[in-house]
Amino acid sequence: MNRFLAIVEREMRKFFRSPVLMIMSMMLPIVQLIILGHAMGGHVQNARVAVVDEDHGPQAVKVKEAFDSIAVNIATFKTFPYENEMEAREDVRTGKVDAAVIIPPQFSRRVYAKDAPRMGLVVDNSDAVLSNAIVGEMQLMVDALNKPVIEQRVVKDIALRVVEIYPYMEYMKYLLAGSIALAMYISVMIGGGMLYIDDKARGVHEGYLVTPISKLELVMGLNAAGAIKAVLAGISLTVIGSLMSGLGTIFNPWAVLNLLLLILGTSLAFNGMMFLMMVRVDDPLVPRAMFGVLNTLLFFPSGAISPVSAFPKWLRTIASVDPFTYAIHGLKAILLKDGGFVAIQWDLLFLFTFGIGTLLIATPLFKRTL
């Protein structure tokens, strides 16, 4: 036990003597959380929409009042008056405005006569997110204008009532679970995999080989130190990210206990995976070259940025064996849904089984020779 703890102590001393390494391993997930959390997933606001009124009738005025209401309230878009349809279409094409609404001549007369009144909407569909937001908001406005002033006593149309279980979820909160897992992965990659290969390249590893330390003690000592580093990174990102995102989950003792179990299981799984990959590697450039590939292969299919159900079948297969997937699912279940232990039990089972299994495979592959 003393030999095992000596390895852990050496690795942790080396880690804490390099505060820059500790800080840099945390910077990428925090920057990603801040930038992507605010840049993606939110409501589209302040889009520019040109309005060409060729009718100038009372119904056209009603439509423009509805536009003003949208601009004041949810602010999806702001409107700008145009005199000419061709000018508005050209400005949409060149990007001066994002869309153009055309209110044709005789629009008010057609509304009163119930003679198929129509408005035109020209959108720049090169940006699907923006154009879909404008089209969706315009459709809601048209549906509201079509409602009769006096509602029918007996409603004959089928209606869908949407009930949202949770309050509005900002994308920054949605992204937090992925940022926590990414911080732990970077900590394992930099503080575990790369340092281990660097030690072998510098000859530090040879010092272990002249001691009576067994292969199992050496493997477990190195991985225990790596797991402690990953746990510290996970706890730090959980606290910082929760405060930044406005989540109060960290003030719930039971939720904190579940989060600690998830962080421990994730650190074990990541360490086991990285050690299995690096156990026979001698070139210190290999883990640096693998970093970007592994990050893309493991992080993006995990559901951290978009749901796994939206992936093609071959990508869902990768996600099903990716420890990132189970770590992120569990973290979301606790941080966003307060799901309790029942919601994460299968995630914990996979993470601990995966971590222990990879370490058991890596141990006989470890060479206790030069």
Buried b (16+ CB within 10 A) or exposed e, 76-104: bbbbeebeebeebbebbeeeebbbbbbbb
Considering 49-63, 186-200, 308-322, 346-360, the range whose residues carry the highest mean pLDDT is 346-360
Whole-number Å distance between alpha carbons of 172 and 34: 7
Average pLDDT over residues 107-114: 87
Domain locations along the chain: 2-40+171-365, 47-146
pLDDT at 35 over 80: no
**pLDDT band (50, 70, 90) for residue 43:** low
User: Which pLDDT does position 233 carry in this prediction?
Assistant: 87
Above pLDDT 90, what percent of the chain? 13
Structure-token match 């206990």, residue found? 257
DSSP β-bridge partners for residue 50: 80, 100
**Phi, psi (rounded to 5 degrees) for 53:** -100, 105
Q: How far is CA 59 from the centre of its chain?
A: 44
Per-residue model confidence as pLDDT tens digits over 70-97:
777 767 778 888 988 899 988 988 888 8
pLDDT at 9 over 70: yes
Q: How far is CA 110 from CA 15, 117, 141, in A?
A: 75, 5, 18
DSSP β-bridge partners for residue 48: 78
pLDDT at 53 over 80: yes
Average pLDDT over residues 15-44: 71
Average pLDDT over residues 44-51: 82
Question: Greater confidence, 293 or 333?
Answer: 333
User: Which pLDDT does position 38 carry in this prediction?
Assistant: 65
Whole-number Å distance between alpha carbons of 272 and 40: 33
Residues 6+ apart with CB under 8 A from 110: 116, 117, 118
Whole-number Å distance between alpha carbons of 89 and 133: 19
Q: State which amino acid sits at residue 43.
A: H
**pLDDT band (50, 70, 90) for residue 171:** confident
Low-confidence winner among 23-37, 144-158, 328-342 (lowest mean pLDDT): 144-158
**pLDDT band (50, 70, 90) for residue 331:** very high
**pLDDT band (50, 70, 90) for residue 156:** low
Which pair of structure tokens corresponds to residue 208?
A: 């272990």
User: Which pLDDT does position 353 carry in this prediction?
Assistant: 94
**Phi, psi (rounded to 5 degrees) for 251:** -95, 5
Q: pTM for the whole thing?
A: 0.75
pLDDT at 198 over 60: yes
Nearest to 169 by CA among 12, 332, 60: 332
User: Which pLDDT does position 138 carry in this prediction?
Assistant: 83
CATH number belonging to domain 47-146: 3.40.1710.10
Whole-number Å distance between alpha carbons of 43 and 65: 22
Nearest to 182 by CA among 278, 287, 294, 272: 294
Q: Where are the alpha helices (DSSP H) in the chain?
A: 2-16, 19-39, 58-72, 85-94, 107-113, 128-146, 171-188, 195-202, 205-209, 215-245, 253-278, 285-299, 313-320, 323-335, 341-365
Indicate the average pLDDT of the chain.
81
Above pLDDT 70, what percent of the chain? 82
Whole-number Å distance between alpha carbons of 71 and 362: 60
Which pair of structure tokens corresponds to residue 303?
A: 């559901």
Nearest to 52 by CA among 11, 100, 96: 100
User: Which pLDDT does position 326 carry in this prediction?
Assistant: 94
